[in-house]
Amino acid sequence: MSISLNIIKLLTEYNPCFKFLVFYISPAFVREIKAVLVLQLQSIEVILCLKFTILDSPASRVVVCENMKRISQKYKVLAIHIIGEFIGSTLFSLMYFMFIARYLDSEFEFSFTVLAFFIGAAYFVSVYIPFHTYRIHIIPFISIIRALQKKKWRIIYNKIPAQIFGAFAGTALFKVFMTLMNSEVDIMDMWSYRLEQPSDVLFFNLLVVFVLCYAFYILQLLFKSLNFTSTFFFALVVQALFIFTWQVSEITALNVFGYLSLILLEGDFDFLTNVFWTIVIHLVSPSLLAIGIFYYIRDRYFNKGRNIPRPPAGSVSQNYDV
């Protein structure tokens, strides 16, 4: 007797409702119900039998184990990249404001050229230190470019939250350090040139984002991949942009989450117009420009169907890059 009929027999013996159906309702109706139950239970039987038969095969067990290991390794690498992005963003914001504070402090004497060099070095070190990889972005607009290049939207929702929390953590650590050192430096003094009109702030932020994204994309074309040389030259681009923008108020593109975290922690909201325009000027508009730059360069330098050159596959971190 099959398992299905045994189950129906047990239901008849121990379930009053089912027993009522069997003995007091028309035999035709009972036969229909019984047939449906038998069909459903037999289908479950077949599925279970197939499942256990497949898993009983040694080759199948090996395939299942390999797939599980691959999935586990994939999520492990994704977690490592997210943690690396957080650490890199924390280091960059911490060093970024620390170097500026030291430049503003009268006790430390070094030239503006040295300050710019320190900022470029801070970016390069923050990208490289966490896991000796060049796949850490720190700047959200670069993450958008990479997401479009690789057609992986998880780059945005994995990396940008890590950048936000990392920038806030780095800025908070900077504030704690300045408090412990009893420093009287007002970090907001770095903005000695005030832009009065929101349109001016928007224009200069978009200009900086344009140079950043264009340089990042072109450096990948020149060096064919994300490597030491391309990262080094991009750090020089960050250094050059810092020279021209760091004293101008609300030009936040180089460290957007760091600047917004600093304003939040300082409680000095005079530099911001309102929440809506702050989001539009510092986040939404630059992001849309980054998307536009990607499609402009792709259509200009590549034929249809071609993509940005990528490093050769050879490691798990490359296969599951975020």
Closest alpha carbon to 88 in 127, 120, 124, 122: 127
Please report whether residue 61 resides in a domain. Answer: no
The pLDDT, as a whole number, for residue 304 is 47
Domain region containing 212: 71-319
| Mean pLDDT computed over every residue of the chain | 75
> How do residues 165-182 score in pLDDT, each as one tens digit?
999 999 999 999 988 888
Alpha-carbon span 148 to 130, nearest angstrom: 24
Alpha-carbon span 4 to 11, nearest angstrom: 11
What would you report as the CA-atom Rg of the chain, rounded to the nearest whole angstrom? 30
Tell me how many domains the chain contains: 2
pLDDT at 235 over 80: yes
Please report whether residue 64 resides in a domain. Answer: no
Are 122 and 164 part of one and the same domain? yes
Alpha-carbon span 127 to 173, nearest angstrom: 19
DSSP 190: G
The pLDDT, as a whole number, for residue 196 is 79
Six-digit token string for 100: 């500026």
Alpha-carbon span 3 to 263, nearest angstrom: 70
> How do residues 76-131 score in pLDDT, each as one tens digit?
777 888 888 999 999 999 999 999 998 888 777 778 888 999 999 999 989 887 66
Are 45 and 79 part of one and the same domain? no
Please report whether residue 160 resides in a domain. Answer: yes
Please report whether residue 66 resides in a domain. Answer: no
Alpha-carbon span 316 to 9, nearest angstrom: 54
How far from 291 is each of 26, 82, 89, 167, CA to CA, in Å? Answer: 69, 22, 22, 23
Alpha-carbon span 205 to 75, nearest angstrom: 35
Are 43 and 183 part of one and the same domain? no
Give the DSSP letter string of 277-300. Answer: HHHIIIIIHHHHHHHHHHHHHHHH
> How do residues 51-60 score in pLDDT, each as one tens digit?
445 455 565 5
**N residues, the chain:** 322
Greater pLDDT, 299 or 163:
163
b/e 46-60 (16+ beta carbons within 10 angstroms → b): eeeeeeeeeeeeeee
Are 184 and 297 part of one and the same domain? yes
Alpha-carbon span 245 to 191, nearest angstrom: 9
Are 261 and 219 part of one and the same domain? yes
Please report whether residue 269 resides in a domain. Answer: yes
Q: How many CB atoms lie within 10 A of CB 172?
A: 17
Give the DSSP letter string of 1-25. Answer: --HHHHHHHHHHHH-HHHHHHHHHS
Are 82 and 215 part of one and the same domain? yes
